Structure 1
Amino acid sequence: MTDSDARLLRALHDEHAPAVWRYVVHLTGDRALAEDIVQETLLRAWRHPSVLDQSEQSARAWLFTVARNLVIDGRRSARAAHEIVTDTVPEERSTDATDAILESWIVADALSTLSVDHRAVIVHAYFAGRTVAETAEQLQIPEGTVKSRLHYGMRALRLALQERGVTR
């Protein structure tokens, strides 16, 4: 394509693209699809330089005809027959309890490998949601002991979970 052809194509675009776009929006009701069809129409004009040599009215008629044919071809295509266009998401993904159950089994299995003392403070603090002071009162041990057992118990739990491929 020569520089003069490129200038003619640019002029063709500037002169006719907005009108072709409005026409395609009128036909389809879809602004994004209209942009795609106008782009394809102008691409076909670029591939057929003889369009650039036509009069302005002939070029415009050619562009409208190509755009109309692209709309018709799009509607007839198998893809269009199977596509459902909607503005809303059909449904949200429902939560499945399967993953949670499997994770709880893995955690329970890992907890069973801990000592009774470590397991007790972890269950009270993390699963029952108690504070260090409440855990100490429930288990009748000093708060410092609860903190220490939590630290070493969590370390052992992390290792047990790593062995099961749950954490890094």
Structure 2
Amino acid sequence: MAEERTDERALTELQREHGPALLNFLLGLTYGDRQRAEDLLQETLVRAWQHPEAFDGPFESMRPWLFTVGRRLAIDARRSRLARPTEVSDGILAATPDPEDRTESTVAVLDVREAVRTLSREHRAVLTQIYFRGLSVNEAARVLGIPPGTVKSRSYYALRALARSLPGYSAPGHRRSSSSRSASNDGASATSR
């Protein structure tokens, strides 16, 4: 029983003497995260308590030992956090659509159908051949009786028109920068190409 009190007193003295310096050191390692630094400080002191042989040397020599243990614990904690997948908050889960709920996909289908209806007949025909029937540019050109370059041009302008009518849609290979948005606002001229 007397031995336990000695250990507790030694640990209390160790914390009083070296704790503030160790905490400041750990704050630097945790980029100022006080909670993590305090957790690491406590874990370092637990390690000191678990290794009574560390108390055998001069009391002042404990500081380098404590700093080494604290540094290793900080490195291990960081590696552990980086190895774990990021935690998902309840807000993200609430905003994630239910895969069983077909409402989102139904609304998207209706939006796409309406946007496709606004295209010219020529543009719809090209998109139908390339995207809905899966034909290559050359195959679509043969079916439609037009040159492959015209198929490419019409599909490009059709996708740009769809991008304007569908919020959040981006045509494949088409960046939506502010200059391309203003360039794409040339109205009906794009749909007639």
Q: TM-score, normalising length from structure 2?
A: 0.42
Normalising by structure 1, report the TM-score.
Answer: 0.48
